[in-house]
Amino acid sequence: MTLTFNPNRYGELLSQYQPKLIRTEAENETALAIVEALVHRPDRSPEENELFALLITLIEKFEQEHYLPGADSTPRSRLLFLMEQRQLEQADLSGLLGSEEAIAAILTGDREMSTFQAKALGAFFHVDPGLFI
């Protein structure tokens, strides 16, 4: 049986959830919660599928604008961001990068990372080592 799209039901869903451009973390979290509920709903209706697709598009737009490294992003700022996300201190990376002095020089911008250090950080954070070069 093929389900048909009901514009009136879709309008009701839009009225209930009121999707809009996502501008804040709180709005993103709300949209993610709705998507999470929809993704686990068995036998979603065509209207729910359309709402799901719309929310995914809005979430992706927000995350691309707010989470992807921009032109101002540097290897140092990317490392600081990843450290913050994992709640790591300089000492947590000292063994990985050679010494506390080495990581301190990198974090203060006094020294650039070597290719070896970039590869080690890439493996540690599970990211492309090119982020640190």
Residue 63 to residue 52: CA distance in whole angstroms: 16
Q: Please tell me which residue, 17 or 62, carries the higher pLDDT value.
A: 17
Give the residue with greater pLDDT, 13 vs 67: 13
Instruction: Verify that 54 and 93 share a domain, yes or no.
Output: no
Mean pLDDT score, 55-62 = 90
Quote the number of domains for the chain. Answer: 2
Instruction: Inform me whether the pLDDT recorded for 8 exceeds 90.
Output: yes
Q: Which burial class, exposed, middle or buried, applies to 29 when counting CB atoms under 10 A from its CB (0-12, 13-18, 19+)?
A: exposed
Give me the domain span that covers residue 79.
75-132
Percent of the chain with pLDDT over 70: 94
The last residue of one of the domains, among 30, 46, 67, is: 67
pLDDT of residue 6 exceeding 80, the answer is yes
Q: Is residue 2 part of a domain?
A: no
Whole-number pLDDT of residue 71: 58
> Mean pLDDT, the chain, as a whole number?
88
CA distance 28 to 65: 12
90 part of a folded domain: yes
Residue 74 tokens read as 């540097």
From 18, 35, 67, give the residue that closes a domain. 67
| 17 neighbors 31 (Cβ within 8 angstroms) | no
Res 1: pLDDT: 56
Report the predicted TM-score, pTM, of the whole model to 2 decimal places.
Answer: 0.53
What pLDDT shows up at residue 5?
92
